[in-house]
Amino acid sequence: KALSQVLFLTPHLPAFFLRHRLRSHVLEIRHLDRAMLRLGLGQLSEEELKAACYLRGLNSTHLGMSECRAWLEQWLGLSCKLQASEASLLANSMVLLSLNYVRAKE
């Protein structure tokens, strides 16, 4: 539900439109991930790290910089290995990685 709000997806839209919008958002995040990997996570401020986590579905309000950086490193490791044709896998990974992050549940 929270991820739907981040990606501006509402259940009131037709399924075709939701799929198109979700794929578009996921591919945009994939492009941002590749740019972030080239830049390096060390170049990001704490606010930028938290915003990057939030955009990828992780509630980072109670996380420190090192935890956000560790989660983003894990995320980038997956995201940058996937092809554009595997956008649905990346979308599912957003949910799985954010829900299963141990520190985020506390």
81-106: per-residue pLDDT in tens?
877 777 777 777 777 677 667 654 44
By the 8 A CB rule, do 17 and 23 touch?
no
Q: In the chain, which ranges are continuous DSSP H helix?
A: 2-6, 15-39, 46-55, 65-79, 87-99, 102-105
Which residue, chain included where needed, has tokens 């578009």?
24
Crossing angle between the packed helical segments 65-79 and 87-99, to the nearest 10 degrees: 150
d(C-alpha 7, C-alpha 17), whole Å: 13
d(C-alpha 21, C-alpha 13), whole Å: 10
Mean pLDDT of 2-26: 71
* CA 65 and chain centroid, separation: 16
How do residues 43-53 score in pLDDT, each as one tens digit? 999 999 999 98
